[in-house]
Amino acid sequence: MKDPISVYLSRRLTAYNSFSLDPVNPNVGLTVTIPCYSETHLSLTIESLLRCDPAGVDVEIIVGINQPVSAPVTELEQNKHTLRYLDNLSIERSDIKLIFSDLIEFPDRISGAGMARKVVMDEAAIRLSQSEKKTKVIACLDADCTVSPNYLKEVYSFFGRRNNLSACSIYFEHPLFDKTGVLHEPIVKYELHLRYLIQALKFTNHPHAYHTVGSSMAVNLDGYCSQWGMNKRKAGEDFYFLQKFMEIEKVGALNTTAVYPSNRKSHRVPFGTGRAMMDWENGKEILTSNMESFVTLKNFFDRVGRESRVVVNDPLLSQFLIDQRFDENSLMKNTSSNITFRRRFFRWFNAFRVMKYLHYMRQHGFPDRPIAIEARKLLEVLEYNGSDTDSVYEQLLVFRKLDRT
């Protein structure tokens, strides 16, 4: 059987790798990848990484400066400014090395978050494949993030402790206050929305309840190459990337460190933090999925694999399964136990199909609701002490604690 790393490196690399040809240190075990397009705060990200505790191995930071062919002049100039900054940057730490690209220009039809992230992760794969370290890790960060001082150490050691896993979702916290100390309400609501969705999915006992934030994830080299690398999606690349590892039960949560993503607005992607901040500014309220939809799922999931046949007592869910062409007999073929059946079932009813289900329920009488209302309902169902608050800030602090347990 061929080595998946050599197979991937020989077949699936992009044609846009234009990084420096510096020799690889054989002691490199961790690479932090940062796609960068017209970013004004990259220096804060780099400085944050340079302040980190030693990882126990050598670390490379790889920055991919990219732009679409149609990029405005102002964004091209910012990229050139970033390139000059990196050219002049002097790193005094012997255990950290900076690698960066020339300006990479993508055709508009493929330019986007996925392609930008793929290029830097592929470069990391090339370089890590030449390392002599047993554990080789690719971390994903964005050029507007900072990290906890123990970030490098915890990301690398996670894969040493959990050598049965290939990927991880890393704990994150958005900054909640502006420079004057005023609470930034939209980011509080948006982060609460993200955490509510994951905790509600955990409540249903779905096994794939992990955050999928592109700036807060990592993968080992074997896993990256075995799953054919990062995809080229213009948006949502992080969700589809981690989804592959969820389905083979090779992902875990790293909650002993933190990434601090930006709370800025952005027009570049159709969803995510930046889009939510822009929508808020344009008068759109931040809503979330109806708690009743999750209650229905829990009642269904709790019976899967525990009875001779799948039992569906809810008419809307039953119709959804029909629409999705759910084939129980196919899942049961060559299935020797209830545990095996549940595993196969959740590969079919994966996180993406949960999203489809929530959309279906939204259209059939269970509309999205204000996040404070639904978050309180979930805390009440969980019988969590302090669930009677309607303050989104206090709710978020509770959900942050839940995510770290």
| pLDDT, averaged across the chain | 92
347 and 199 part of one domain? no
Residue 312 lies in a domain: yes
The answer to whether residue 385 is domain-embedded is: yes
CATH number at residue 135: 3.90.550.10
CA angle 5, 36, 59 (to 5 degrees): 50
Q: Are residues 173 and 26 in the same domain?
A: yes
Task: For residue 110, give the DSSP letter.
Answer: T
Residue 94 lies in a domain: yes
Residues 302 and 213 in one domain: no
Closest CA to 167 of 224, 83, 247, 240: 224
Question: Is 79 contained in some domain?
Answer: yes
Query: What would the two tokens of residue 190 be?
Result: 């948006």
DSSP state of 365: T
Q: 269, 304, 321 — which closes off a domain? A: 269
pLDDT digits (tens, 9 = 90+) for 260-315: 998 765 555 555 665 665 665 666 788 999 999 999 999 999 999 777 678 899 99
Looking at the fold, whether 190 and 334 belong to one and the same domain comes out as no
Residue 277 belongs to some domain of the structure:
no
Do both 230 and 341 map to the same domain?
no
Residues 165 and 312 in one domain: no
Q: Closest Cα partner for 382 from 365, 364, 405, 352?
A: 405
Rounded Cα gap, residues 117 and 265, in angstroms: 20
* Sign of the alpha-carbon dihedral angle for 381, 384, 388, 391: negative
Whether residue 257 lies inside any domain: the answer is: yes
Report pLDDT for 116: 96
Burial class (CB in 10 A: 0-12, 13-18, 19+), 388: exposed
Q: Which residues are CB-contacts of 350 (< 8 A; sequence separation ≥ 6)?
A: 208, 243, 246, 247
Q: Are residues 313 and 216 in the same domain?
A: no
Backbone angles phi, psi at 169, to 5 degrees: -100, 125
Of 281, 229, 302, which Cα lies nearest the Cα of 33?
229
Question: Based on the domain organization, do 326 and 243 belong to the same domain?
Answer: no
Task: With cut-offs at 50, 70 and 90, classify the pLDDT of residue 21.
Answer: confident
Render 178-237 in DSSP notation, one character per residue: -TTS-B-HHHHHHHHHHHHHHHHHHHTT-TT-----TTSEEEEHHHHHHTTS----SS-H
For a pLDDT cut of 70, what percent of the chain falls above it? 93
Residue 185 pLDDT exceeds 70: yes
Please write the tens of the pLDDT for every residue from 40-77. 999 999 999 999 999 999 999 999 999 999 999 999 99
Could you say which of 209, 241, 269 is where a domain stops?
269
**Each residue's pLDDT tens digit, 218-271:** 999 999 999 999 999 998 999 999 999 999 999 999 999 999 998 765 555 555
Say if CB 393 and CB 218 are below 8 A apart: no
**Per the domain annotation, does 38 fall within a domain?**
yes
Average the pLDDT over 157-172 and give the result.
Answer: 97
280 in any annotated domain: no
Is the same domain home to 255 and 196? yes
User: 168 near 220, Cβ under 8 Å?
Assistant: no
Q: How far apart are CA 172 and CA 191, in angstroms?
A: 10
Residues 25 and 167 in one domain: yes
User: What's residue 307's pLDDT?
Assistant: 73
**Please, which residues bridge with residue 62 across strands?**
33, 99
> Would the pLDDT of 174 be above 60?
yes
Q: Indicate whether 366 and 248 sit together in one domain.
A: no
Q: How far apart are CA 226 and CA 395, in angstroms?
A: 39
The residue among 202, 235, 269 that closes a domain is: 269
Q: Which residue range forms the structural domain that includes residue 340?
A: 288-403
Angle between helices 351-363 and 291-301 (to 10 degrees): 130
How far is the C-alpha of 379 from the C-alpha of 82, rounded, in Å? Answer: 45
pTM of the entire structure?
0.94
> Are residues 263 and 328 located together in one domain of the fold?
no
Domain count, the chain: 2
What's at 179, amino acid-wise?
K
